[in-house]
Structure 1
């Protein structure tokens, strides 16, 4: 459920009171631990924490006009979510997050890079704070560029694999049945 709100404050005003309270609490932890260089703004219809073009002019690989996303926080139809771009392609970071989340006694519900939660009590705020603080902008850019390079290499390898001619065995031509009929009449 993407919002068309232009500002974070407008986005928060749109939310039901319980969701607003939960999103604001998670937002507060993110802001308190956000390393220097990231900016808070609306991004993809959610609250986003991004690397601005002034620091990373390339922008987001999927849309270079957009700044590089780091974390997005949003309210969806059936849940709230933290979209953690930094977890895509980084199994160690994802494993650390899962372990810390579970060690805090909370249920961990994550897809590729999206942690879903229904209420504030489901979120170990201290883990979110540690996670966000652990990735300064320069370290995040290095990580994400490595992931983008690996994706590009995989795509290139896939293309070259498709481009190679198949090694089909030549088949023997069978004489057509009409040819056999003619030769049997002779």
Structure 2
């Protein structure tokens, strides 16, 4: 993990959240930390907790106006991972690559842990490169 300043620490991020979101955010980020594959680096800022592959954001937790949002970029890029989450929780509040929730119980944590663990850094970077190459080819 990168060295954090007192204002950019995990505890400062959690403390800045509304009281009812602090424990769900803490528990979810501990799950992310426990399951993220080797090679990713954790970055803690005022607006996001994130794991990156080099400079590429892979996972991020953000506080939104009325909910927490876990951004899982591999879910956006690899449809099979998205299908695994939706199979585990058909009513999951999900955007293209983000899971929106207020309580941890709303998330399929076992399936989420599997999805996070399933994306090695090398696979993630290869998918990012492929997506960028495809984007340039259609421009």
Give the TM-score range, shorter chain: 0.7 to 0.9
1:24 Cα offset (Å): 0.7
1:126 Cα offset (Å): 1.1
Looking at structure 2, the residues matched to 47 and 137 of structure 1 have their Cα atoms a distance apart, in angstroms, of 18
Gaps of 5+ in 2: 1-6
3-state DSSP class of the match of 1:70? strand
Mark the structure with the bigger radius of gyration.
Answer: 1
- RMSD (CA atoms): 1.7
Structure 1 stretches of 4+ with a deviation exceeding 3 A read: none
Say which structure is richer in strand.
2
Identify the match of residue 91 of structure 1 among 71, 79, 86: 79
Q: TM-score, normalised by structure 2?
A: 0.85
> Relative to structure 1, is the Cα distance of residues 71 and 136 closer, same or farther in structure 2, using a 3 angstrom cutoff?
same
User: What aligned pairs does 1:97-176 form with structure 2 within 5 A after superposition?
Assistant: 97-102=85-90, 107-155=91-139
Greater RCO (Cα-Cα under 8 Å, separation 6 or more):
2
Identify the match of residue 41 of structure 2 among 39, 42, 47: 39
Residue in structure 2 matched with residue 70 of structure 1 by the alignment: 58
Contact 2:35–2:113 (8 Å) recurs in 1? yes
Contact 1:70–1:85 (8 Å) recurs in 2? yes
Aligned residues: 133
Q: TM-score, normalised by structure 1?
A: 0.65
3-state DSSP class of the match of 1:15? coil
